[in-house]
Amino acid sequence: MTGNAVALRLVAPSKVAYKPAEAGITGDPWDSYWANSKRVGEVGVGGPKDEALQQFWSAFFVALLSAGASQPRILDLGSGDGAVAGFALEAAASESHAIEVHCLDLSPAALSLVKRQFPAIVPLCASAADIPTANGRFHAVVSQFGMEYAGIDAVAETARVLSPGGRFAAVLHQRGGAIFEECQAIAEALQATQDSGVLDAFSTFLKSACALRDGHGTQAEFAAADKALAPCVQALEAVLRRVGREGAGGMIFGIYSDIAHMYQRPYNYSADDVAQWAHRVEGELLAFEHRMRAMTDAALDEAGLNNWRRELDLAGVELAPSATLAMGPQQRSAAWILQGVRRSD
């Protein structure tokens, strides 16, 4: 191989590090995320089972179980793969108390994961803005980074399905908080990765290598593709210097490592293999960025939180003072906490 215009300064692994899905990303990015078992796309701050979240929900569910209902019905809005449901079941087991947990999410794949972990859970595939259940059915409605995606319409629905005296608790994305800032930084890094043009340039480079190997291309075409790839790789390296190997869940470094590996062996791949790889990686980049943008778009600032408070009050939920939740190793404010009780009519 001649030219060698690309300065791949990170150590290339002995095999391809990044493992894209067996099929390209199609349909809803969240459903694809859950269907692929969260292989990429995790946010580092906190996490769905952060100790602060566990403490909050354990205290909430223990208080709920001591409130009187023999088998309280609980609805988890935007449940994902059931982190909050797990906290509820743990609390019930520790208190030797029966409960009935329903998990609502728009993603069938997420609900499938819930059922796999907790067979007794009742799944509901729907939006929190349109809950398919009767008025006053639940003794508690809860949500952890879920109902805010449905917007303000979720407020009236929450109040509608709560029984009189029923309890409400939600942990909501906080605009400007630690999770918000991380999601924003990840989205920017993923966009910069796409803007680098490295996938198209690398595909062109490998196709030129295939053509040269098969006698259809020229050395000059191969050298030109090699030269055109260099600034794209440099742009990708600039992203990596900013976010580090673990940034964006390791996805960007994984792409870089794959390129480093394949660049050293350009004649080992077919043009179809390269096109399929690039298509899959691009799909996951777009899906991951979509999730990060959705998180930041759903986050509430203080004015937005107060709007939710007003709507909940008008819908009949008496709220405690708002609070924030500190999460992650640095214990930075990351989420809003809303709690309340449905007033009796």
Instruction: Report d(CA 71, CA 57) in Å as an integer.
Output: 18
Query: Mean pLDDT throughout 291-299?
Result: 94
> Is the Cβ–Cβ distance between 254 and 281 less than 8 Å?
no
Tell me: pLDDT of 47 over 80. Answer: no
**pLDDT of 39:** 46
Query: Mean pLDDT throughout 36-45?
Result: 50
CB count, 10 Å around CB of 24?
Answer: 15
The pair phi, psi for residue 32, each rounded to 5°, is: -65, -40
Over the chain, what is the mean pLDDT?
87
**pLDDT of 225:** 96
Instruction: Report d(CA 117, CA 71) in Å as an integer.
Output: 21
- Six-digit token pair at 27? 């349909």
**pLDDT of 9:** 38
Query: Mean pLDDT throughout 273-280?
Result: 88
Residue recorded with tokens 């930084």? 185
**What confidence tens digit (pLDDT) does each residue in 118-145 have?**
999 999 999 999 999 999 999 999 999 9
Instruction: Report d(CA 286, CA 280) in Å as an integer.
Output: 10
Tell me the angle at which helices 251-263 and 198-213 cross, rounded to the nearest 10 degrees. 20
Instruction: Report d(CA 143, CA 41) in Å as an integer.
Output: 20
Q: Look at 18 and 178; give whichever has higher pLDDT.
A: 178
Name the pLDDT band for 16 (thresholds 50, 70, 90).
very low
- Six-digit token pair at 46? 């906190």
- Six-digit token pair at 293? 């943008």
Task: Report all structural domains of the chain as residue ranges with CATH numbers, in order of start.
Answer: 29-44+179-296 (no CATH), 51-176+299-342 (3.40.50.150)
- Percentage of the chain with pLDDT > 70? 88
Name the pLDDT band for 13 (thresholds 50, 70, 90).
very low
Residues 223, 228, 233, 239: what is their CA dihedral angle, to the nearest 10 degrees?
170
**What confidence tens digit (pLDDT) does each residue in 53-80 have?**
999 999 999 999 987 777 899 999 999 9
**pLDDT of 49:** 62
Range of 167-171, 216-220, 275-279 with top mean pLDDT: 167-171
**pLDDT of 25:** 41
- Taking the model in full, what pTM does it have? 0.84
**pLDDT of 18:** 32
**pLDDT of 10:** 35
